[in-house]
Structure 1
Amino acid sequence: MVKVEIVEEKDQQDSRSPYASSSSSRTSSSVSLSSVGSEIDREESFYERLAALVDIVPPTTRHKISTRISNTAGFFKSTGKLVGNLVWIVTTSALLIGLPLALSLEDEAKIVAQEKEMLAQQQGQQMLAPSMYPPPNQPQQKGVVPPGF
């Protein structure tokens, strides 16, 4: 934990400090804070600045946050594993059971279509082929016989 102390300087040798003024009063400030070197240290990275903020958050709060993050990550990991296993089971079952079933149904449909086609061809040949016997519902024509026979 960080402990903050007020240190009073009796020597004012460092005249660059904006807080060192000729007046002894702490409430009056003649130097603005903008004159303080507010430039960002170019050598310090964003990660280093974030890591420095760890000391601001109390340890109990840090523990609660890390516990919640680890619990959430564990939940998503186990849920993802479960969903992956279910997808694996469904796709494997579909390949092992569904694909052969679909192929056999397709073969059966081809066989039925061929049988229908063969029946249609047989019926078409029967209608087109001249038969020796006339159809039963038409009267027979008597042939014209020339005289003298």
Structure 2
Amino acid sequence: MVKVEIVEEKDVGASPYSSPSSSRTSSSASLSSVASEASVEETFYDRLTALRDIVPPTTRHSIASKVSKTASFFKRGSKIAGNIVWVITTSALLVALPLALALEDEAKIVAQEKEMIEQQQGAQQMLAPTMGAPGSNQQPKGLVPPGF
């Protein structure tokens, strides 16, 4: 920030802008030496805060409101997206997982039934040639499924 001071005539010799022959309206000292001293003490934050004074208040308010609206839009959007992901995830856990487990159990039962039918057909094929052989007086034995 720039500070303006009025220099009195008695302090003229101590000013970096003056020379012994200078008056209040003219200065022969260069400002480059003064600027280099000021830049050493000035930080980046000081420069940014000085820019605040350059931008008019109406423009600052307009920029601040646009940034605030954009931030709130993204905040609301991320909250909605998070809620959607939550609903999908919980629905998958509560509905799809038990359904998948039930379908897997059903597939196992169907596979066991199919295996059982194949075993019965295999047993009947083994008994069929002995029953049709000439001269055999054996009677076919009853089939018992496995596990009985």
2:124 to 114, 123, 126: 126
Shift of 1:129: 4.0
Counterpart selection for 2:63 from 41, 62, 65: 65
Distance 2:106 2:117 in 1: 17
Instruction: Among all aligned residue pairs of Structure 1 and Structure 2, give the percentage whose two residues are the same amino acid.
Output: 53
Q: Which residue of 2 aligns with 1:145?
A: none
Shift of 1:65: 1.1
Which ranges in structure 1 are unaligned for 5 or more consecutive residues? 142-149
Letter of the structure 2 residue corresponding to residue 126 of structure 1 = Q
Give the length in aligned residue pairs: 130
Please list the CA deviations of residues 65-84 of structure 1 after superposition, one character each: whole Å capped at 9, or x if unmatched: 11011101110111111111
User: TM-score scaled by structure 2?
Assistant: 0.68
**Stretches of structure 2 lacking an aligned partner (at least 5 in a row):** 136-148
Other-structure match for 1:40: 40
Q: Which has the larger radius of gyration?
A: 1
Q: Highest relative contact order (Cα 8 Å, sep 6+), 1 or 2?
A: 1
Residue 111 of structure 1 corresponds to which residue in structure 2? 109
**C-alpha RMSD of matched pairs (Å):** 3.4
- Partner Cα separation in structure 1 for residue 40 and residue 130 of structure 2: 112
Shift of 1:51: 2.9
TM-score (norm 1): 0.67
Structure 2 CA distance, aligned partners of 1:38 and 1:8?
19
Distance 1:55 1:105 in 2: 70
